[in-house]
Amino acid sequence: MRQELIDWHRTQHPVIPSEISNRPLQEESTSALIALSDDILTPLENQFGSITITYGFTSNILKNYLLKHHPGQMAPSLDQHAASERNAKGNLICKRQGAACDLLVEGFDKRMDEIAKFVVTQLPFDRLYFYGKNRPIHVSIGPENSKYVQIMKPSAKGHAVPVRRGVGVSSINLFES
């Protein structure tokens, strides 16, 4: 498994105390993170070059810290960043399971639509959230392998809101407008 999937928060939120652990506790989480690396990140790197993880795996303790100190736009019950981790009550944080990351590809910082199109047409993904050509894409793997694509746009208040969606290769035209 790629260490960047675990340590992403050290770059994005360098003030997080070192005692906040971001290690997967569930074997299923580790397996999903390995699959995310092998099935999505390695093919992207082989095709396009260096990848930066802007949001990766999020353990329960890191999730709780981020919700308290950096709430932003998190959707832990939906976004698959928690993989198969469980909350304090023993319930899955995200019932979709799998694993997710948000990423940028070096040299494509204004052309992330090209990366999204490659994922949609060439890779076995579960969900892809597209925030714009100059923003990281969110991509996940998971047991549903739904190939679901959601286009997000900023609202008047700056929050990302869903505007269009599609499934599979037919969703390729969503990136054009």
Confidence of residue 1 (pLDDT cuts 50, 70, 90): low
Largest CA distance in the chain: 45
DSSP-assigned letters across all residues of 53-97: EEE----HHHHHHHHHH--TT--TTTS-TTTT-B-TTS-BS-TT-
Where exactly are the structural domains of the chain?
Answer: 3-175
Neighbours of 113 (CB within 10 A): 18
pTM of structure: 0.94
Residue 33 is inside which H or E element, if any?
helix 27-36
The string of pLDDT tens digits covering residues 96-126 is: 999 999 999 999 999 999 999 999 999 999 9
**Average pLDDT for the chain:** 93
Q: What is the pLDDT of residues 23-48, one digit of tens each?
A: 999 999 999 999 999 999 999 999 99
User: How big is the CA angle at 74 (ends 52 and 4), to the nearest 5 degrees?
Assistant: 25
Percentage of residues in the chain with pLDDT exceeding 90? Answer: 76
